[in-house]
Amino acid sequence: MQLNLTLILFSLIFMFPPGKFVSSCIYKAVGDKVVISFDDAKLQEDNELRWIHNQRRVYWKKGSQVKHSELNTDQYGSLILENVQKDKSGEYRGIIYDAEGKFIKETLQHLCVLEPVAEPIVLVECVEKGVNLNCSAVNNDEVVVSWMKNDMKANVTHAVLHVTSSELKPGDNFSCTVSNQISKKSAKNVEPVCFDTDMSEKRFLFGLDLWWMLVILTGGGSFLLILVIICLVCVCRCCRQNKRKAKRKEQHQLVSLMPYYLNRLDDQQNPASSFG
């Protein structure tokens, strides 16, 4: 037992040499200012300072002479990142040596730069035997999703929540929340309304849903009825016009025959005049 403890202690010593400090990930939002420090270390004027980002040197100062500078530091040796972007994520190692090159202190920290989550929207999709609720704005693995049903937390952490027809009651409302290490936003409540989506209970006519078939037949019947009414109106108007034309023709013929009948009447009343 004592031998095992001794081995563990030696392992820890070799893993974390004196003056070295390892921290968990530092989460920052895109655009933030980040300062990575040595904590209580005091940088002397003649010290040597090195900063390495993912095995790549980004700063090196020896005494008062700056030999390499891709990033800035302050008087205490802390590394400063202005308007940090996602490509600056990763491991940062800072090392301080004295004027003779003797190791003084080291720090190792991990930076995680994240985009703030977008405001989510709950999208409703009616499916067989229920409804699928899709929480949008979930675009990477670092986003955590939680669901609320009627203002009570649901035990679901997936982007898609499936609710069966038997579980869905009128008036039920749902909302999702997305979050990461730097931000958190919630969607507005939605009340999914889906008609009976159980395909086994649906009735069909000629391969179509009976409800839609009734809608189509009703609409078609109304259209035919309107056409019949329009045709009847046109026929009636034509009949009236034909009757008017026939009456006018008859009146015209009577007028043209009036002189003949009047002459015959005069001849019958005055027979002597016809013999001279």
Q: Tokens 């080291």: give the residue.
A: 106
**Shared domain check, 42 and 109:** yes
pLDDT value of residue 97: 95
Tokens (6 digits) for 150: 């009627």
Nearest residue to 180 via CA among 141, 154, 135: 141
pLDDT value of residue 261: 57
Question: What letter represents residue 267's amino acid?
Answer: D
pLDDT value of residue 255: 61
Do the domain assignments include residue 190?
yes
Q: Tokens 């977008």: give the residue.
A: 118
pLDDT value of residue 124: 94
Do the domain assignments include residue 7?
no
Do the domain assignments include residue 60?
yes
What does the chain come to in residues? 276
**Cα separation, 271 vs 49, whole angstroms:** 154
**Shared domain check, 49 and 100:** yes
Digit-by-digit pLDDT tens for the chain (276 residues) are: 444 544 444 444 334 444 444 458 999 999 999 999 988 777 888 999 999 999 999 999 999 899 999 999 998 999 999 999 999 999 999 999 999 999 999 999 999 999 999 999 999 999 988 999 999 877 666 799 999 999 999 988 889 999 999 999 999 999 999 999 999 999 999 999 886 544 444 444 444 455 566 667 777 778 788 888 888 888 887 887 777 777 777 767 666 656 655 565 556 666 554 444
**Cα separation, 132 vs 159, whole angstroms:** 10
pLDDT value of residue 264: 59
Q: Tokens 């038997």: give the residue.
A: 166
175 within 8 A of 121, measured Cβ to Cβ: no
Do the domain assignments include residue 268?
no
User: CA quadruple 194, 199, 203, 206: dihedral positive or negative?
Assistant: positive
Question: What letter represents residue 268's amino acid?
Answer: Q
Residue 193: give its domain's CATH number.
2.60.40.10
**Shared domain check, 231 and 187:** no
**Shared domain check, 47 and 30:** yes
Nearest residue to 136 via CA among 117, 125, 123: 123
Do the domain assignments include residue 269?
no
pLDDT value of residue 207: 44
Print the domain residue range for 39: 17-114
**Shared domain check, 209 and 127:** no
**Cα separation, 191 vs 173, whole angstroms:** 4
pLDDT value of residue 19: 41
Which CA distances in Å does 185 have to 119, 120, 121, 166, 179?
A: 6, 7, 10, 30, 6
How many domains does one find in the chain? 3
Single out the residue in 184, 201, 218 at which a domain terminates.
Answer: 201
**Shared domain check, 94 and 23:** yes
Single out the residue in 88, 114, 140 at which a domain terminates.
Answer: 114
With vertex at residue 265, the alpha carbon angle to CA 261 and CA 266, rounded to the nearest 5 degrees, is 120
Q: What is the pTM of this model?
A: 0.57
SS3 state at 252: helix
Q: Show the DSSP H helices in the chain as ranges.
A: 2-15, 210-269, 272-275
Tokens (6 digits) for 23: 């921290």
Torsion angles phi and psi, residue 202, rounded to 5: -80, 150
Nearest residue to 103 via CA among 49, 66, 53: 49
